[in-house]
Amino acid sequence: MLFLAQHGFRVVAHDRRGHGRSSQASEHNDMNGYADDLAAVIEALDLRDATLIGHSTGGGEVARYIGRHGTGRVAKAVLIAAVPPIMLKTEANPEGLPIGVFDAIRAGVAGDRSQYYKDLAIAFYGANRPGAKVSQGTLDQFWLWSMQAGAKNAYESVKAFSETDFTEDLKKFDVPTLVLHGEDDQIVPVKDSARKSAKLIKGAKEVYYPGAPHGLTATHQDQVNAELLKFIRD
């Protein structure tokens, strides 16, 4: 956000329902709720010709927003290490992750969530890879952000990001779209996300970073920023 603001763009972000500084609402902790919250922010600020950028679950929010609310206020879209089309392994998506993976996340969030988030940060930023250079500050930042989320909200978000099928939403994209993903993403495997999403989005531009983790906006910050700036300006 700082980088884009320094290059003359108005940059707006919101904390997802139940996360960060948003109130910890008991209901609507699902993709429809997230997308409608995004729509409320966009309409309240009367944003137009916006480029919607979503990372991870946020990419799902962008997809569901377009699926539910269209692109009347949207000029472009960017999906970074995003969860669509669907993460869960199903008969229709045999390459997906088994439900046990997401049950383990729920157990971590419902149990010793502080330690769980500290452990999760390692894979999130690829700090477990040979030669990785991930600062302690980056890992601590992940823990701090995670602990700001309500436990119920974080627990219910697991179902939202893992079981939601965005296939039909992606088919409704009718604006220039950038799909950007790290090829060593241990959280949202690239073969079952970005590569499939790009096939569903008409004319999508694909950019893949070899060896990059899920948290590539931190580990590959300069590359991602340059890519975003180029895409937004083109």
Which domains, from first to last, does the chain contain?
Answer: 2-233 (3.40.50.1820)
Percentage of the chain beyond pLDDT 70 is 100
Beta bridge partners of 53: 78
**What value does the mean pLDDT of the chain take?**
97
Average pLDDT, integer, range 67-78: 98
DSSP-derived secondary structure letter, 192: G
Q: Report pLDDT digits (tens) over 153-185.
A: 999 999 999 999 999 999 999 999 999 999 999
Q: Tell how many helices (H) and how many strands (E) occur in the chain.
A: 11, 4
Would you name the residues annotated as active-site residues?
Answer: 56, 185, 214
Q: Residues 216, 127: contact at Cβ < 8 Å?
A: no
Confidence of residue 70 (pLDDT cuts 50, 70, 90): very high
pLDDT tens-digit map of 83-94: 999 999 999 999
Mean pLDDT of the 186-197 span:
97
The confidence band for 209, taking pLDDT boundaries of 50, 70 and 90, is very high
- Structure confidence at residue 65 (pLDDT): 98
pLDDT for 80 equals 98
Q: How far apart are CA 115 and CA 194, in angstroms?
A: 30
Q: What is the pTM of this model?
A: 0.96
Task: Specify the 3-state DSSP secondary structure of 55.
Answer: strand
Give percent of the chain above pLDDT 90.
100
Q: How confident is the model at residue 186 (pLDDT cuts 50, 70, 90)?
A: very high
The pLDDT, as a whole number, for residue 51 is 98
For the stretch 112-128, pLDDT in tens is 999 999 999 999 999 99
Q: Cα 224 to chain center, whole Å? A: 14
d(CA 194, CA 179): 6
**Among 95, 109, 83, CA closest to 163:** 83
pLDDT for residue 222:
97
- Tokens, residue 118: 């500290």
pLDDT in tens, 21-49: 999 999 999 999 999 999 999 999 999 99
CA–CA distance, 197 with 67 (Å, rounded to integer): 14
